């Protein structure tokens, strides 16, 4: 579980040092750095998963350096994962290749169980005359006196990160999977296949998901899985006159479709059940599904729900975390109703300064918080004070 994050020269965050809770919600104006923070943690997971799992010199990542910055990009996190303390820091200078867009060669360093390690070379750099072959990752390996099983443990914990950006119409689609254990994509594709797998192979999990959905959306009476046609386009290779041709070929497969029995209506199609219902079902499936994420990064946790349902959602998420104490949820929101069901220490506020860089502060850091905390719920306090106070803190705040 991540306890602290540190960004340097990552997109809108020139410098960020932030503590996180097991359940943390980011609020603030649009384009103020909320989603950027989620993206940074997701990128760190990707870098760590690849560099700790392969003998690579570096990991070629996207160009995410802050505008105008000359210093290296750093994305770091520290905490306790599965009972073992550790820290990871992905570092990359800006590297521009002669032909093509710039990219960042990330290397990794950190510690696990107080034993330091490093993956890759931090002095990677390319001259203007460098060849394209020099841009590829080269064998490097892990350096440090750390047992391999500890690194594998850290990699497994950091890899179990899911960033969710559900699209209602995608969640509603019928799906087909030839995987032994179907997976749910970040946009929600594959939902029907995952639920069908649960219904057939882990009916108790399916029942838990169904019961949790009924608690949050009382109009739902039952979730049913039906067979449905799924159109797919495959590419077939044809050899003709010693030449190979790729021909797109449409085919119809029989997959699965989610159907709801609602209060007063049976057999309701998913695209008629409401966006909020679908989004909650997707979230519950992601949290309780086969992948068992350790860190869930969720954009817009209110999920198009009624304010009363938002409160029930928070209660359901806390119940899931109680059963799974190692699950961490970091979400963004624009809803004061979500905040009203949080502890003030779980709220972080983002603000875009006049110089174009983002800042992030605890709600409890507001100068008047101690005065008003007993009179207002967190959502009411946020609605009253907004975020401009962050820009008035003065000095060179570490979160700027």
pLDDT one digit per residue (tens) for the chain, 400 residues: 999 999 999 999 999 999 999 999 999 999 999 999 999 999 999 999 988 886 677 888 888 988 888 889 999 999 999 889 999 999 998 666 556 677 788 999 999 999 999 987 655 444 333 333 344 444 456 778 888 889 899 999 999 999 999 999 999 999 999 999 999 999 999 999 999 999 999 999 999 999 999 999 999 999 999 999 998 887 777 777 777 877 788 889 999 999 999 999 999 999 999 999 999 999 999 998 877 899 999 999 998 899 999 999 999 999 999 999 999 999 999 999 999 999 999 999 999 998 889 999 999 999 999 999 889 999 999 999 999 999 887 644 444 3
The strand pairing partners of 220, in sequence order, are 262
Nearest to 363 by CA among 378, 377, 351: 378
CA distances from residue 378 to 86, 89, 318, 324 in whole angstroms, order as listed: 32, 33, 17, 26
Cβ atoms 60, 93 nearer than 8 A: no
What is the rounded CA–CA span in Å between residue 369 and residue 391? 16
CA–CA dist 100, 349 (Å, integer):
37
Would you kindly state where each structural domain of the chain is located, as residue ranges? 2-160+336-391, 168-292
Give the CA distances from residue 219 to residues 169, 248, 265, 353, in Å, rounded to whole numbers and listed in that order: 20, 43, 10, 44
- Token reading at 354: 């006049």
**∠ CA 319-307-258 to the nearest 5 degrees?**
65
Answer for the pair 143, 118: CB distance below 8 angstroms, yes or no: yes
Of 183, 160, 212, 206, the C-alpha closest to 318 is 212
pLDDT at 99: 62
User: How many residues in total does the chain contain?
Assistant: 400
Smallest Cα–Cα separation from 120: which of 92, 148, 154, 156? 92
Q: Write the CB contacts of 366 (distance below 8 Å, at least 6 apart in sequence).
A: 381, 385, 389
């Amino acid at each position: 579980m991540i306890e602290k994050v540190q960004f340097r020269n990552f997109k809108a965050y020139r410098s960020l040092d932030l503590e996180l809770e097991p359940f943390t919600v980011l609020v603030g104006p649009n384009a103020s750095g909320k989603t950027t923070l989620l993206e940074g943690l997701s990128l760190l997971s990707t870098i760590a998963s690849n560099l700790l799992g392969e003998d690579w010199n570096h990991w070629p990542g996207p160009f995410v350096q802050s505008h105008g910055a000359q210093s290296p990009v750093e994305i770091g996190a520290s905490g306790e994962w599965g009972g073992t303390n550790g820290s990871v820091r992905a570092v990359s200078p800006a590297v521009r290749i002669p032909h093509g867009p710039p990219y960042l060669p990330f290397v990794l360093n950190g510690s696990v169980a107080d034993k330091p390690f490093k993956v890759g070379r931090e002095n990677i750099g390319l001259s203007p005359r460098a060849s394209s072959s020099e841009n590829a990752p080269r064998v490097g390996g892990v350096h440090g006196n750390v047992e391999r099983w500890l690194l594998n443990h850290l990699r497994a914990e950091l890899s179990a990160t899911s960033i969710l950006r559900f699209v209602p119409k995608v969640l509603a689609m019928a799906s087909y999977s030839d995987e032994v254990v179907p997976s749910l994509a970040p946009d929600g594709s594959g939902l029907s296949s995952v639920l069908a797998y649960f219904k057939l192979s882990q009916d108790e999990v399916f029942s838990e998901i169904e019961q949790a959905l009924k608690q949050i959306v009382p109009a739902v009476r039952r979730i049913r899985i039906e067979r449905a046609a799924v159109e797919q386009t495959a590419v077939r290779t044809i050899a003709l006159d010693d030449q190979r041709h790729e021909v797109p070929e449409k085919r119809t497969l029989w997959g699965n479709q989610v159907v709801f029995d609602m209060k007063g209506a049976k057999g309701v199609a998913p695209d008629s059940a409401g966006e909020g219902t679908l989004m909650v079902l997707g979230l519950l499936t992601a949290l309780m599904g086969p992948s068992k994420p350790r860190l869930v990064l969720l954009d817009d946790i209110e999920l198009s729900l009624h304010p009363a349902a938002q409160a029930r959602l928070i209660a359901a998420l806390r119940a899931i975390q109680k059963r799974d104490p190692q699950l961490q949820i970091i979400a963004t929101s624009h809803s004061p109703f979500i905040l009203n069901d949080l502890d003030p220490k779980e709220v972080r506020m983002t603000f875009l300064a006049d110089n174009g860089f983002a800042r992030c502060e605890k709600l409890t850091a507001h100068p008047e918080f101690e005065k008003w905390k007993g009179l207002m719920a967190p959502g009411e306090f946020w609605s009253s004070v907004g975020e401009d106070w962050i820009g008035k803190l003065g000095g060179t705040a570490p979160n700027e």
